[in-house]
Structure 1
């Protein structure tokens, strides 16, 4: 079997792949262990030009080589803080109002992609299969092709792909789509995302798109498909059950004093609908006085991109909302919202999910949202909690047993919370079982294996 080379913006360390890593790291590392290969990308460190210009740092773990490079401050500012997260992230999440375009940052984005590609070329073997991940690296294959690399290259987009009319807000939209067409396989989280890409190809790139997912545009032919990233539900269930007896979880249960628990876990990001969620919970307490003092919302929101001004504002807004609502409804022995702006170990989160009666997952827009899937997998089958899920999360296509809400509808979300808390056991079990069927059908291994089969299968054709 040919060797696999994975390219992502950040590379999980060997320690992370065995412990607290998320879905991408777990799935990718599993594929790398099976075939042997390289995981290449940014180390997360901002370094001097001298250090950056050295070869990648190599670290081996069995058949897997972790190859990382640091970024100079200018490259970090333009490639990562700039075009990737000030332009692509907001537009791809339908927040054109927050997008900031700067030509120098876009030039830096392409320059860093070309520089990273050059670093990888020295590690490549002729029959390597290359799998590139996410919006930071859209031009990566184009840079490799320009250097004469003929290997099979696939790309998976973890975030939504916007409709053409939204994408047109990015000035170099055509260059970006042309770059995507340099891949052999391009994967999306949902059929909605793939259709948006096809629409652009037909309407704006004068290309063709067939119902079976083949694209012809910019002198290239490629395959597109939907690959729903998932979780390993049985592993999560085991992890959640094992953690129930740990002290941290026992302390939380004791502090609740018999109150119902609503759990939410998100990165601190404007796409997650956190302010809207807090206001929906406030409306629920206002309209359901019998629940005051009897239910607690735990919102865990680890900081992200803390050096970006937009994210600093999000944190301030959320802290204000939590303080305002707590000031209105707290008692001497009761705080309705416990807002925790910090990271927790994965096992602890899974165990907290298992202890809760409601999982509140209400992003304004999300490519998939693995928290929704992790919440279901962590539940006790004999007494499962209820997932309240945004219709704008990619997971909504599969988690049909969830209670669907429009996160912009504060009253509707409030009513869903009330119904979830009062739901009888028989209905909770039925919804849980429906969701578990979907989780097992599209687990993390299926996502990984289907994508790589398409990439390798086309190579044999």
Structure 2
């Protein structure tokens, strides 16, 4: 705080062009002129923030003296330049941005000659695009300060005030005299394919054809600001517009007047305000437009005349001004022509009501109000993100004495592979050796706890000396023995058939989806389906389930990233682990308590109760325990002194099975060796003999989540590579 006042927050606006035109007057002298444009109009009204605008100045400045002098001159306008040479601008902006990104983002597709050209030019344009973005990032990083924010309405007061200026009032009077006795229609657009200028002019021609009495009573003024004049597509558009305008003027014009006044240039701010003020009907026929601020500016300048706005339904402004405007489909020439007639003949009271609605919106939702709301919400988002980050476990750099990891089912380089190959992937070969070493250690017990069925666990882990817990722990066996069940006796499964019918129905109607019928649950997986369509189908499926087969059933629906699972109530990994430990200790005849636990997983929130089950800081383990606070990050986890004193160790590591859905991340548990590094759990689980099988202390329990997310685990492993490294070091420590 300065002088008892809070510091003013800085707003950084990063755009391709600065809102300033720069002309060099000498070696170190520049003439600057503030530009008029949509984004400029939107941000000029922000008064509550110290705004800085970062962008290209629009000129090539290769010499250091010129760059320094221009930087100083722009600083007075609160602008910071990014210096791009002509080649980068041509390749990055005219090439990649305008020839590739812009058409695709506006549903136009690439120009035919570009598609037929060599792809080498595309690659060079993309390389320039990357270099330009890096140059922008470097400048932003150089000027960024802690607390800065990166961020549309207009500054309506600026337009309203301009109408009172003597220069503007004089221009208004001249325009009224020039077009006396005629209704004025106005279009202000960039000469661009998406602005729909040909469609607008053709609709006006149709109106004149069908309404001959209006031919000498109305005039269309079309301001077409030239853009990208060196591009063939735009040159063709210019010729097309000129041809249509000439044909219509030749057909309906007279010696003293023509129906269309077409200008291939921009107007200054004051002249534009005057033109807005005398216009009876504004015509916006964009074929695709993000917002279109021309409609806002027109409404702001119509306080006295209360003209009519005809607005394309494909413009973003239609969402906010649609109630007061006449919405049209610009491709429907007949509809637009009819709307022109309706607007010109609209009664005064209807014009008043329509204008009032739009004027209230434009003057209320100004650029300053937008900026204040935007920055306020942005700050709230930062605070919320920080709160969420506090619930993300800290990363762990190394573990002295042990290290464990398992790998995901993608190839080593992380490249996308085809669905069939991915579904056939088995246990990673680099994992087999360390896993075998851990399984062969007599003091270590490995448990793979998975949502997958028994056959898949047998296929992938049958060769190891470990324990397998299938279907979230409902089935259990040692690889040296037979499968047994840990299911509660009162587990009802009479809902399975009806749910199966629903899953079959949606599988047939969702390409590349499949469902798995298990003994205690059903899973519908749309991992390989189209993302958006899969999500829509999953929402529809949930409605079918809740209103049908599971409306009165004792089941839970668990939603994964791209899966829907229906399982019996209470079937979670955390709920099953106590029964699993009891069975393991009973069958292995373990006499000493388990005093070290390592648990690694990539679970859905529903199954993260396994982490809290082992937490010694909780008074009693139970399913769905709320998250506990993670301990402070450590650089290394030192072997516990009691490691070699005869205690038993259990390690639980999560394996992402290649066949399982995201909610089926297996969890492998393993006993520690003699170098204690797991937290202790004070809670006792009574087995057949009634003995205590867990005696954990906090410093001897380690829980890891794989991937950055909110989790009840204590620590974070960023990727499967980290997990693999951890397991390998863990196995190596057994030999020391």
Task: State if a TM-score over 0.5 links the two structures.
Answer: yes
2:199 is aligned to 276
Structure 1 window deviating more from structure 2 (88-97 vs 419-428): it is 88-97
2:688 is aligned to none
Matches within 5 A, 1:154-173: 154=151
Structure 1 residues 334 and 267: alpha-carbon distance in aligned structure 2, compared to 1, 3 A threshold: same
1:300 is aligned to 223
1:106 is aligned to 126
Q: Secondary structure at the match of 1:261?
A: strand
In the alignment, is the contact (CA less than 8 A) between 1:244 and 1:250 conserved in 2?
no
Structure 1 window deviating more from structure 2 (405-414 vs 35-44): it is 35-44
Structure 1 window deviating more from structure 2 (22-31 vs 323-332): it is 22-31
Equivalent-residue separation in structure 2 for 1:363 and 1:78 (angstroms):
27
* Higher percent of residues as helix: 1
Q: Secondary structure at the match of 1:307?
A: coil
2:43 is aligned to 28
> What displacement does 1:380 show?
3.3
TM-score normalised to the size of structure 1?
0.72
In the alignment, is the contact (CA less than 8 A) between 1:78 and 1:109 conserved in 2?
yes
> What displacement does 1:303 show?
1.0
2:136 is aligned to 116
> What displacement does 1:56 show?
7.7
Listed one character per residue, the Cα deviations across residues 382-423 of structure 1 (whole Å, up to 9, x for unaligned) are: x41110110000010111110110000001000000110011
In the alignment, is the contact (CA less than 8 A) between 2:163 and 2:169 conserved in 1?
no
Structure 1 residues 393 and 52: alpha-carbon distance in aligned structure 2, compared to 1, 3 A threshold: farther
Q: Secondary structure at the match of 1:407?
A: coil
2:436 is aligned to none
Equivalent-residue separation in structure 2 for 1:317 and 1:447 (angstroms):
39
> What displacement does 1:243 show?
6.0
Note if 1:389 corresponds to 2:311: yes
Structure 1 window deviating more from structure 2 (262-271 vs 243-252): it is 243-252
In the alignment, is the contact (CA less than 8 A) between 1:58 and 1:66 conserved in 2?
no
Equivalent-residue separation in structure 2 for 1:58 and 1:250 (angstroms):
41
| Aligned equivalent of 2:298, options 366, 370, 375 | 375
Matches within 5 A, 1:302-317: 302-317=225-240
Note if 1:252 corresponds to 2:252: no
Matches within 5 A, 1:45-444: 45-48=59-62, 57-59=71-73, 65-98=78-111, 100=114, 102-125=122-145, 127-131=146-150, 154=151, 229-242=152-165, 246-381=169-304, 383-399=305-321, 400-444=323-367
Equivalent-residue separation in structure 1 for 2:140 and 2:308 (angstroms):
45
Structure 1 residues 245 and 68: alpha-carbon distance in aligned structure 2, compared to 1, 3 A threshold: closer
Q: Secondary structure at the match of 2:161?
A: helix
> What displacement does 1:29 show?
4.4
Equivalent-residue separation in structure 1 for 2:13 and 2:50 (angstroms):
11
2:393 is aligned to none
> What displacement does 1:231 show?
1.7
Equivalent-residue separation in structure 2 for 1:354 and 1:249 (angstroms):
7
Q: Secondary structure at the match of 1:129?
A: coil
| Structure 2: runs of 5+ lacking an equivalent | 1-6, 23-30, 116-121, 385-736
Equivalent-residue separation in structure 2 for 1:92 and 1:422 (angstroms):
38
Q: Secondary structure at the match of 2:226?
A: coil
In the alignment, is the contact (CA less than 8 A) between 1:376 and 1:432 conserved in 2?
yes
In the alignment, is the contact (CA less than 8 A) between 1:358 and 1:388 conserved in 2?
yes
In the alignment, is the contact (CA less than 8 A) between 2:167 and 2:270 conserved in 1?
no
Equivalent-residue separation in structure 2 for 1:315 and 1:241 (angstroms):
36
TM-score normalised to the size of structure 2?
0.46
Root mean square deviation of aligned Cα: 2.7
Equivalent-residue separation in structure 1 for 2:191 and 2:363 (angstroms):
29
In the alignment, is the contact (CA less than 8 A) between 2:249 and 2:258 conserved in 1?
yes
1:40 is aligned to 54
Listed one character per residue, the Cα deviations across residues 76-107 of structure 1 (whole Å, up to 9, x for unaligned) are: 11110011111111111111153847122112
Equivalent-residue separation in structure 2 for 1:410 and 1:352 (angstroms):
25
Equivalent-residue separation in structure 2 for 1:403 and 1:342 (angstroms):
27
Equivalent-residue separation in structure 2 for 1:330 and 1:459 (angstroms):
60
Equivalent-residue separation in structure 2 for 1:402 and 1:103 (angstroms):
44
1:3 is aligned to 10
Equivalent-residue separation in structure 1 for 2:63 and 2:94 (angstroms):
18
1:13 is aligned to 20
In the alignment, is the contact (CA less than 8 A) between 1:57 and 1:69 conserved in 2?
no
Equivalent-residue separation in structure 2 for 1:416 and 1:262 (angstroms):
12
Structure 1 residues 246 and 435: alpha-carbon distance in aligned structure 2, compared to 1, 3 A threshold: closer
Structure 1 window deviating more from structure 2 (19-28 vs 334-343): it is 19-28
> What displacement does 1:50 show?
7.0
Equivalent-residue separation in structure 2 for 1:421 and 1:80 (angstroms):
41
Q: Which has the higher contact order (CA 8 A, sep 6+)?
A: 1
| Structure 1: runs of 5+ lacking an equivalent | 132-153, 155-228
2:449 is aligned to none
